[in-house]
Amino acid sequence: MGSGSTFLTLTMLVVAGCLMCNTKEVYAQCGGSLPDLISQCQQYVQKTGPKIKPSAACCAVLKQFNVPCACKLVTKEVASLVSIPKVVFVGRSCGLNLPAGMHCGAVVIPPAMK
């Protein structure tokens, strides 16, 4: 996987914010399909409920995004709309390398739990 794959999961942070703001801008700049991302992955990053391993379809959609691009659009408000621990869990469950200390907007990726 390329370095872009390292950041793919963090696109999930953009999802909720894009529902309220500039969906076309994210799509045009960062690739992927936000409607697919929302329909396939939203249930895995909601603030309520337990952590659930993401589906293969969710992982496939995540891999379509240029997340370094999307990370530039992540604000504190966007990050507050999803569960950050679940976003990281989904990404790591999809096999993406999310190193501790990596930044995406105001979010800092925590260490992996052993």
Beta bridge partners of 107: 104
Using 50, 70 and 90 to split pLDDT, how confident is the model at 3? very low
pLDDT at 60 over 60: yes
At 55, list the tokens: 């589906």
Residue 47 per-residue DSSP state = S
Decide: pTM greater than 0.75.
no
Q: How far apart are CA 105 and CA 114, in angstroms?
A: 26
